[in-house]
Amino acid sequence: MWKIREERRPFSFSFGLAPLECPPPAAKPAFAIEDVKSPFTLRSNVSSTKKKEKNKPSYTFPVPQPKLESQWREMEWTEEQKASLMKTISSYRPSCHEGTQARVLLLGPVGSGKSSFISSVQSVFNGRVTNRAMVGTSSTSFTKKLQSFNIHGQKGEDPTGLVLCDIVGLGGGEMTGLTLHDILSVIKGHAPEGHKFSPDQPVRSETVGYIKKPGLKDKIHCVAFVVDASKILTYPKDLSTTFRLLRKHISDLDIHQVALLTQIDQMCPETAKDVTQVYKSRIIQDMMNKAGDLLGMSTSYIVPVKNYSSELDLNVNNDVLLLRAVDHILQYTDLHFQDNAPQHTGPKIDLGI
């Protein structure tokens, strides 16, 4: 096992592994741990890039393009559709009896909109805009620890079968304290609720509250990557490498993954005015394809959303888009429960032999 060098490098994906020494290789291999780029120093990388290219014009948003004649994904923008989706989500229960709630981990760069998505979804069920999950700025992560949010149904109803798990964002400085080791520990169910992440204190058996033998109810059942549409073209190029590395390790755990594309209103003026135009927008369609390239996944796994930010009142069309995203997540979450359902062989038959 190779040790990750401790010299200060602009990028180094920390695996949280026990240190081991080894002699330096005679020639650098084609692929080594040090070659794996990390999102944990997004800010420093972006700033250094800006220094080199300060004379270069900054990125400008795409010019408006003619809308598509019809939606490239079928959507109904009605109060009835909103009510139907809310009923579906409120009544959802995992198909596997052992897990009473579906736990979904939101994972993405700092400022991508993870906490805002949680607050926006809860706002729809509350009937008013609320900020249940604390939200930071675009450059700093307000979330510092593992937090699980039970999505409550409408007033008087029981909580839904969905739990959205918030975690510190990737990037935003020298090190956010989030390592690949810790991410996988959360997914496997070892990390305790409220655990504060630190690069020099990885999740291990000595961690206070460490779950030694996690059950299905402790584990993550689906991962939703969250990326900001307005930053797709300015994210560091090696962030794609990091996403693909994460996806490989998460896939090895048989966890399904989807993605949310946020800030779509910042990319398309027509969608900003009327969110029902999202699936007629060529700009959003192009951003979806770029998000797929960044994450290394088909666009069929990706859904666009518009989180509530400055609004004080709900909008039925925006609610429908948010609820469709939740329904999309639950479809893939339930696949995990189906794949891991206990196999019943039936009672043994005494043949009297």
Residue 132 belongs to some domain of the structure: yes
- The pLDDT of 47-66, averaged and rounded, is 49
β partners of residue 256 = 222
Residue 73 belongs to some domain of the structure: no
Mean pLDDT of the chain: 80
Task: Note the pLDDT tens digit of each residue in 231-250.
Answer: 999 999 889 999 999 999 99
Q: Is 231 helix (H, G, I), strand (E, B) or coil?
A: helix
Residues 268 and 63: their CA atoms lie apart, in Å, by 9
Task: Note the pLDDT tens digit of each residue in 249-306.
Answer: 999 999 999 999 999 999 999 999 999 999 999 999 999 999 999 999 999 999 999 9
CA dihedral 35→37→40→43, nearest 10 degrees, is 120
For 236-271, the DSSP string reads -TTHHHHHHHHHHHHHHTT-EEEEEEE-GGGT-HHH
Checking if the pLDDT of 147 tops 90, the result is yes
Kindly calculate the radius of gyration of the chain based on its CA atoms and give it in whole angstroms.
22
Identify the pLDDT of residue 231: 95
Residue 277 belongs to some domain of the structure: yes
Residue 136: pLDDT band with limits 50, 70, 90: low
- The encoded tokens of residue 251 equal 């896939």
Residue 292 belongs to some domain of the structure: yes
Residue 121 belongs to some domain of the structure: yes
Residue 325 belongs to some domain of the structure: yes
Identify the pLDDT of residue 16: 44
Higher pLDDT, 49 or 228: 228
Identify the pLDDT of residue 36: 39
Residue 192 belongs to some domain of the structure: yes
Domain count, the chain: 1
Identify the pLDDT of residue 301: 98
Segment (H or E) for 316 = helix 316-339
Cβ neighbours, 10 Å, residue 149: 18
CB 276 within 8 Å of CB 263: no
CATH number at residue 99: 3.40.50.300
**Residue 116 structural domain:** 79-340
Residue 19 belongs to some domain of the structure: no
